[in-house]
Amino acid sequence: MKEFESIDKHHVDVENTKDSFDKAAAKYDSVTALQRDVGDRLLSRLGHVKFEPKLLVDVGAGTGVPTGKLIQKYPQTQVMAFDIANGMLQVNRDRNSSGLTGCSVADMHNMPIKSDCVDMIFSNLAMQWSNDLPVVLDEYQRIMRNGGLLHFATFGPSTLLELKQSWGAVDPDNSHVNSFYSIGSVGDMLLEAGFTDVVVDSDKIKLHYADVMPLMRELKTLGANNRTHGRSRVLTGKSKMQQMISKYEELREDDGVPVTYDIIYAHAWK
């Protein structure tokens, strides 16, 4: 198998991630402007695809905003929602109770669904939490029918670039920001897994905040703050945090302190 870039040093702590998303569920929708925006962009890319799936699986479905839009877009389709965090799925069930075929806690590396039965897999900003994307793609190959469509968005390596740069200047020996695969590696992994007609592209989304701390609080509420095994197990002191904030402030623009999100979109067929 082809060797892909290593992000072993920054492997995601899966149990910690699961717990964080469970805790974030109640407040999640109040701070998900980015997720909703990317979800809408991902959905819009299906507008040119003449395909009516019989069974569609939303992986990492979260609180179910895109799930509901998928139900509306494909009214004749059975739609199932899977997520690692039960708290997220409880919100999803309440939001989409009349349209969901099924809703289940699931690990994307080992899906609780039989082989060769899924016509479309949709995943909005979830696959970046995998430590072994080739295993996930092999699992998708297992559950998808021939002629099925995989359609997803994930974070690329420039995500939270400003935060990474600021922490690197004051605490270079510890991991403070999650690391993500490059667009080239995502494309290569799709091909290696046996997908065809692979299309990958990327987009940068820059947001601005009045100050650094609102960004940090939002990342925590999202359950998307640092989840790597390489992170320091000692609480970050106020002094070091203030040093990081001072470094970040040096990047301030007219609209506020910037934060970059690197979004990779992928579209491939089995």
199-219 pLDDT per residue, tens: 999 999 999 999 999 999 888
Give pLDDT, residue 142: 98
Give pLDDT, residue 110: 95
Q: How far apart are CA 213 and CA 70, in angstroms?
A: 34
Give pLDDT, residue 220: 78
- 163-179: average pLDDT: 91
pLDDT value at 174 more than 90: no
Report, in this order, helix, strand and coil percent for the chain, each rounded to 5: 40, 25, 35
Q: How far apart are CA 154 and CA 121, in angstroms?
A: 14
Nearest to 267 by CA among 181, 190, 184: 190
Q: How far apart are CA 244 and CA 174, in angstroms?
A: 13
Segment 9-27, tens digit of pLDDT: 345 445 555 555 555 555 5
Q: How far apart are CA 104 and CA 44, in angstroms?
A: 26
Q: How far apart are CA 139 and CA 109, in angstroms?
A: 6
Q: How far apart are CA 238 and CA 204, in angstroms?
A: 31
Give pLDDT, residue 256: 97
Tell me the CA distances in angstroms from 6 to 10, 59, 111, one per residue in order. Answer: 9, 24, 25
| Averaged pLDDT of the chain | 87
Tell me the CA distances in angstroms from 50 to 47, 140, 149, 270, one per residue in order. Answer: 8, 21, 11, 16
End-to-end CA distance of the chain: 19
Q: How far apart are CA 106 and CA 112, in angstroms?
A: 7
- 165-172: average pLDDT: 95
- 127-156: average pLDDT: 96
Give pLDDT, residue 217: 86
Kindly indicate the confidence band of residue 144, based on its pLDDT and cuts at 50, 70 and 90. Answer: very high
Give pLDDT, residue 6: 44
Segment 219-255, tens digit of pLDDT: 877 655 544 444 444 456 789 999 999 999 999 999 9
Burial class for 162, CB neighbours closer than 10 Å (0-12, 13-18, 19+): buried
